Amino acid sequence: MRLNLRVIIALIVAAVSLFGYFFNTSKNEVTGETQHVNMSADQEIALGVQAAPEMAAQYGGESTDARATAAVQAVGQKIVASTKAGQTPYRFQFHLLADDQTINAFALPGGQVFITKGILNKLTSEAQLAGVLAHEIGHVVARHSAEQVAKSNLTQGLAGAAGIASYDPNNPGSSVAKAAIAAAIAKVVNLRFGREDELEADRLAVDFTPQAGYDPRAMIQVMQMLQQQGGRSSTPEFLSTHPDPGNRIGELQKEIAAEFPQGVPAGLKQ
């Protein structure tokens, strides 16, 4: 009887988790995709603003280089103003972080975009900076963070259901083992989604950079620089926080060729 009760409770927990995931959908006006999300745009903005100071502190805080900060903000806002990103409810703010040793850039939900002095110092053109920022803007407008939160809630709910169903009072360790397996599966699933997110952010950046007047091929130069840095020393943090889906340069080349079958237009800033 106890076993049946545990199974019933587990099924209820799993059903609630699945229902909450699959019935919370929203159409993304930028990508056209129907997404499983359980956060509103206002909630994403509030979450990003709340987390921004703590994230900045991990990289030495905001840079005191006023000129470089202004350049980052100008390029970022130019991309937003020139693309569909500016038509979203997100409030984009661009931060240059003081850490000049770490090569990284990232975005929080709602429009908080960060780039370290370490990666900025490695860039050789405004177009390369635009490519990095456009990629991060892509993550925001594609609502990747909101999707990951929804997926995390689902996997946690299912893992909890598995733990309830498999719990053996005569062998308490059994639930620990099951939970470990469930966590490992969840990690693999989330890694796969992360790689897909990177490809989508790259595709959006290929769209956004030319609209703002920048040559999208500069993004390939950034990827080449990151690979070179990884070959010389430890892997740049950018490639740790942005999983490499294999041949990312090749994917960018194919996307640019598909976007501009007659060749990239002349006059774009390189």
Mean of the per-residue pLDDT values of the chain = 79
- Angstrom distance (rounded) from CA 149 to CA 144: 9
Residue 171 lies in a domain: yes
Task: Render pLDDT for 129-153 as a digit per residue (tens, 0 to 9).
Answer: 999 999 999 999 998 877 777 666 6
Counted residue by residue, the chain has a size of 270
* Domains identified in the chain, total number: 1
Is the Cβ–Cβ distance between 148 and 206 less than 8 Å? no
**pLDDT score at 20:** 54
**Region of poorest pLDDT, from 25-29, 42-46, 186-190, 221-225:** 186-190
**pLDDT score at 183:** 47
Residue 253 lies in a domain: yes
CB atoms within 10 A of CB 57: 11
Report which DSSP code applies to 86: G
Answer yes or no: is pLDDT of 51 > 50. yes
Answer yes or no: is pLDDT of 65 > 50. yes
Answer yes or no: is pLDDT of 162 > 60. no
**pLDDT score at 152:** 65
Residue 264 lies in a domain: no
Report which DSSP code applies to 62: B
Strand partners, 35: 26
pTM attached to this predicted model: 0.77
Residue 265 lies in a domain: no
Residue 89 lies in a domain: yes
Measured torsion, CA atoms of residues 260, 263, 264, 270, in degrees rounded to the nearest 10: 150
Tokens encoding 158:
């299912």
**Mean pLDDT calculated for residue range 60-64:** 97
Residue 270 lies in a domain: no
**pLDDT score at 7:** 56
CA distances from 24 to 17, 20, 34, 143, 161 (A): 11, 6, 10, 14, 20
**Mean pLDDT calculated for residue range 161-189:** 46
Three-class SS of residue 98? Answer: coil
Q: Which residue has the higher pLDDT, 176 or 88?
A: 88
**pLDDT score at 181:** 44
Task: Render pLDDT for 224-260 as a digit per residue (tens, 0 to 9).
Answer: 998 888 655 566 777 777 767 557 889 999 999 999 9
The amino acid present at 170, given as its one-letter code, is: N
- Angstrom distance (rounded) from CA 211 to CA 264: 12
**pLDDT score at 188:** 33
Residue 43 lies in a domain: yes
**Region of poorest pLDDT, from 104-108, 112-116, 172-176:** 172-176
Answer yes or no: is pLDDT of 209 > 90. yes
Answer yes or no: is pLDDT of 1 > 50. no
**Distance between alpha carbon 225 and the CA centroid of its chain, in Å?**
20
Report which DSSP code applies to 27: E
Residue 155 lies in a domain: yes
**pLDDT score at 144:** 82
Domain range spanning residue 131? 2-259
Strand-pair category, 25-27 with 34-36:
antiparallel
Answer yes or no: is pLDDT of 27 > 70. yes
Three-class SS of residue 14? Answer: helix
Is the Cβ–Cβ distance between 107 and 134 less than 8 Å? no
Is the Cβ–Cβ distance between 24 and 38 less than 8 Å? yes
**pLDDT score at 235:** 63
